Amino acid sequence: MRLLPSLREKKRYVVFEIVSEKKFSLTDVKDTVESALKEFFGQLGLSKASPIMLKENFNLEKQRFVVKVNNKFVDELKAALTLSEKIKNTPVIIKSLITSGGLKKVKGYL
């Protein structure tokens, strides 16, 4: 039995860019994102926000990635990732580029 559209969780896709002198692999970025979100949200907030980093939408050359999150937790997601300062002991800046409700528009920014 399927859920009615009005009962489903609404989602947003947020594109982030890593500004650094060094390029990072998908596993390094994923570990950093997961630890930053867990530290900021805690266990309960993490389950409510249900963030998912989309592995297939990671651009290694531009260092951009997409995170899917509940629409009520977009601002908290941006805050959590901008507060993370290091990946593998290398100073970085993680900034958000665009937020969208559809994956098609987001792919143009990767």
Rounded to whole angstroms, what are the CA distances from 22 to 10, 38, 77? Answer: 35, 25, 24
pLDDT band at 8; cut points 50, 70, 90: confident
Distance CA 22, CA 87 (A): 10
Classify domain 10-101 at the CATH class level.
Answer: alpha beta
Residue 101 contacts residue 11 (beta carbons within 8 Å): yes
- pLDDT, tens digit, 9 for 90 and up, residues 10-37: 999 999 999 999 999 999 999 999 999 9
Q: What is the DSSP secondary structure assignment for residue 73, as one 8-state letter?
A: G
Do the Cβ atoms of 65 and 54 come closer than 8 Å? yes
Q: Does the pLDDT at position 76 exceed 90? A: yes
pLDDT single digits (tens) 82-106: 999 999 999 999 999 999 999 999 9
